[in-house]
Amino acid sequence: MKIIVPVKRVIDYNVKPRVKPDGSGVDLANVKMSMNPFDEIAVEEALRLREKGVATEVIAVSIGPDKAQETLRTALAMGADRAILVVAEDVEPLAVAKILAKVMDEEQPGLVILGKQAIDDDSNQTGQMLAALTGRPQGTFANTVNVSGDEVHVAREVDGGLQTVALKMPAIITTDLRLNEPRYASLPNIMKAKSKPLAQKTPADYGVDVSPRLKTLKVVEPPVRSAGIKVADVDALVAKLKEIGVAA
Amino acid sequence: MSESENIAEIRRAVQALCADFPGAYWREKDSTRAYPGEFVDALTKAGFLAALIPEVYGGSGLALSDAAIIMEEIQASGCNGASAHAQMYIMNTLLKYGSEEQKQEYLPRIATGELRLQAFGVSEPTSGTDTLSLRTVAVRDGNEYVINGQKLWTSRAEYSDLMLLLARTTPRESVTSKTEGLSVFLIDMRKVVGNGMTIKPIRTMMNHSTTEIFFDDMRIPASALVGEEGKGFRYILSGMNAERILIAAECIGDAKWFIKKASDYASERNVFGRAIGQNQGVQFPIARCYAQMCAAELMVHHAARVFDTGGNPGAEANMAKLLASEASWAAADMCVQTHGGFGFAEEYDVERKFREARLYTVAPISTNLILSYLAEHVLGLPRSY
């Protein structure tokens, strides 16, 4: 069984984003970029399934700029078997899902494991759209994943607890934070990654139109937090909380 | 400088690992003078400390220049590779001069992390740089050597399983050439601690786990000898070049950390209604340190290339260490100055890195000794000592 893991190159989670002066987006010049953390969890889960003997091949796919090659190299260095880069800039979730649907057609995977969302635009749409486009079942916000026979059981993080769903494969899974702790890319795997295949494609190869359908009106920085006040004692604290209406 | 995709991936992987060991981790270790065992284990598990071990023994068989990138990136990420760097440079002596049996016995287990090779016993109370006058003696007795003497500044000995030891096997008066008569031993410390070997920790101004070690009729198997008896000094020398190059690379990493920390702070800290980095009095020292670091970095790369292509990098390794340690120390000083009072507050990590960076114009060889080496061996001036 093959597993496809889409990975996205995003602004590193440690970097404090700066909005461009014209409000058209976030400034990415000379900013450290990394693999979306939820996608790292997806790669890790796929590798674990391969190590258990459930899967035979893990294919990392990225739709993004040329530089997304680095992100794919990281996936290969973690242990993925091969990679596909579809070169395109600023692609919206729907177009990403359409390309992934075509990759699924070609590769016939048993599972597609995606991060639940990318930490740059927080869309949280691609997995769901891919399930809809392909007519395959989805297990979103996965906390645990177990494959048995032609089914995969996904415990989902929902309000108030976990909900376990059984999905017929091929199925789409999106990862939540607690699914696993991703491994570090190891030096021996970095060396092996050199000789692993990385295929370069374009959206046209898949016949997908990636032109944007959404229009960004403006991007602004979050409001600056105003300074707090000091209170003398607990009574003063309670009185203040009542005054501003957060305690009765 | 454009680097291969491979090197870039090594950098990214080391950064990702180091991100899990943030300032708070190192501050905690520093305040209790504790060994960063979790960090060393993570580095080992990801295979970084086995970079120089050939693939047949379970390592990655990389060149010293690659190992230098790993050490640089550890320091640039705010971590402290001094807890583990010895494994990289000690390896060199074992790889070049160890017997096939010794390599088979130890290298695979060092690669997996089962064994740590982190202790290098050379310096003594009465012989630091003057290695040839060392007094620790090893006397052959049947199938064993009996060792007596003392070592000083042997770092990480409490956290290492193996030690590479330099000891005198032929009295100084009986050798034909003064560089003869010393031998190298690879010692399994687990068998001799408390049984001829006593380790005493020395507290220092930074968290460096250094010790002094006493040998009292310590018996080790004759098979612990590396290479031929009496040729040890020569074996150690090539390891010392590797050590200088790797430590120079660490200094470059430190300098990069200080420069980034200072630039970030100068961009964010507002005084009199604007970022302090807008003042040339603040930005020029940062820019100067950057230029100094870049120049030293080129020397480090050059020295590593000479080493990797089989040349004798004696002068280059020394110059790389000299220039890089001075660049890192200048950047450390600049970083404190840029931060003002905050540079002294522990939570900024600047004071800790400042203390750690101070070591490298002194160890593993002091700046003066490098200058006298260059004067004598490169410029042909009279020997000064």
Buried b / exposed e across A23-58, counting CB within 10 Å, b at 16+?
eeeeeeeeeebbbbbbbbbbbbbbbbbbeeebbeeb
The per-residue pLDDT for range B294-345, each reduced to its tens digit, is: 999 999 999 999 999 999 999 999 999 999 999 999 999 999 999 999 999 9
The Cα B299–Cα B307 span in angstroms is 12
Q: Does residue A21 surpass a pLDDT of 60?
A: yes
What is the phi/psi pair of residue B258, to 5°? -60, -40
Distance from CA of A207 to the nearest CA of B (A): 30
A187/B5 touch (CB, cutoff 8 Å), yes or no: no
B9/A70 touch (CB, cutoff 8 Å), yes or no: yes
The per-residue pLDDT for range B51-97, each reduced to its tens digit, is: 999 999 999 999 999 999 999 999 999 999 998 888 888 888 888 89
Which ranges of B149-279 does DSSP label H, i.e. alpha helix? 232-268
Chain A neighbors of B17, CB-CB under 8 A: 184
Nearest CA among B4, B8, B44, B9 for reference residue A74: B9
The pLDDT value given to residue B110: 92
Given CATH 3.40.50.300, say whether it is the number of domain B117-230.
no
Fold of the B234-378 domain: Butyryl-CoA Dehydrogenase, subunit A; domain 3 (1.20.140)
Out of B9, B19, B47, the one facing A188 most closely (by C-beta) is B47
Q: Does residue B13 surpass a pLDDT of 50?
A: yes
The per-residue pLDDT for range B130-182, each reduced to its tens digit, is: 888 889 999 999 999 999 999 999 999 999 999 999 999 999 888 988 889 99
Which of B6, B7, B9 should one mutate to test binding to chain A, selecting the residue with the greatest count of A CBs within 10 A?
A: B9
Q: What is the pTM of this model?
A: 0.87
Q: What is the mean pLDDT of residues A6-22?
A: 93
The pLDDT value given to residue B2: 45
Q: Does residue B249 surpass a pLDDT of 50?
A: yes
The Cα B347–Cα A68 span in angstroms is 35
Chain A neighbors of B42, CB-CB under 8 A: 184
Domain definitions of chain A by residue range: 2-244
Fold of the B5-112 domain: Butyryl-Coa Dehydrogenase, subunit A; domain 1 (1.10.540)
Q: What number of residues does chain A have?
A: 248
Q: What is the mean pLDDT of residues A93-115?
A: 98
Question: Contact B38/B46 with Cβ under 8 angstroms?
Answer: no
Question: Contact B196/B153 with Cβ under 8 angstroms?
Answer: no
Chain A neighbors of B265, CB-CB under 8 A: none
B16/A77 touch (CB, cutoff 8 Å), yes or no: no
The pLDDT value given to residue B3: 62
The interface predicted TM-score of the complex, written ipTM, equals 0.81
B19/A191 touch (CB, cutoff 8 Å), yes or no: no
Second CATH level (architecture) for the domain A2-244: 3-Layer(aba) Sandwich (3.40)
pLDDT bucket at A121, cuts 50 / 70 / 90: very high
